Amino acid sequence: MLRSRAMTRFADKRALVTGVTSGLGRAIAERLVKEGAKVAITGRRSDRLEEAASALSEHGEVRAFVADHTSHEDNLRVIGGVVEAFGGLDLLVNNAGAIGFDGALDPKPEVWSKLMSVNVEAVYDLTCLATPHLVAAANEGRGANVVMVSSVASFRPYPGLLAYCTSKAALDMMTQVLAMELAPSGVRVNAINPGVVVTELHRASGMDDAAYDAFLERGRNTHPLGRVGTPDEVAALVAFLASDEAGWITGDRVSIDGGRALTSLR
């Protein structure tokens, strides 16, 4: 009975998930489509996006849009395409993001610029374009909402991650301001704050296999539960926050980090 209800939580819902060529985005999109949603997915790499769309389409209706969300024109095209395909938009999951390594003792202005553009400005632009459609859905009683994929680094400082921590902290504040602004319209906005999860994010930042393996091994000590997370665990939390079961939750930052935010810097 519980399984049956969970599998239909998003029946007739229309969702857009960004950054779906791998990792968290792929798991989130799969969870939503398996639970009945019509899902639009985006990514910058056309070959990877085509592969993801083909796999996800086995579970339901999926539309794919090659897009770089730092481009206003791409964002206009994506939102227009989603609304044309599905007739509207009920859920936006801002998952696409980037990480980079920098600090005041090792300044890298190009890293700062990239992370602010990808993690903050792109999310701002896409969300603002999506908002009128989310408000329209809420006015129809469809339970419209936004879920931001932030990070434990938004409220815990990590040396060498100056731009990343700052960008994710900005994303958290964006979440809370949007929640206040859109609450009267019935649109909820929440963020999730993962610890280390096994994805391609760190490899994409330049880590080689040996460094990444060492990083994951260290995660056994930096996360009190003794392990790093999985994309499926994060996807389950996103699905809950996006569902009507979380209909009285807005403006929250929900940690899913194996207890990492509880620890002192080490």
CB-based contacts of 217, cutoff 8 Å, min separation 6: none
Report the alpha-carbon distance of residue 182 to residue 30 in Å, rounded: 27
Instruction: Tell me how crowded residue 141 is: count the other CB atoms within 10 A of its CB.
Output: 8
Question: Choosing from 124, 158, 164, 212, which is the catalytic residue?
Answer: 164
Give me the half-sphere count of Cα atoms (radius 13 Å) on the Cβ side of residue 101.
9
Q: Which residues of 25-42 are buried (b: 16+ CB within 10 A; e: fewer)?
A: bbbbbbbbbbbbbbbbbb
Reading across the β-sheet that carries 38-43, which strands appear in turn?
62-66, 38-43, 14-17, 91-94, 145-149, 188-194, 253-256
Q: How far is CA 233 from CA 31, 66, 207, 263, in A?
A: 10, 26, 24, 21
Q: Helix axis angle, 23-34 relative to 231-242, nearest 10°?
A: 50
Q: Is 158 a catalytic residue?
A: no
Report the alpha-carbon distance of residue 161 to residue 192 in Å, rounded: 19
Which residues are catalytically annotated? 164
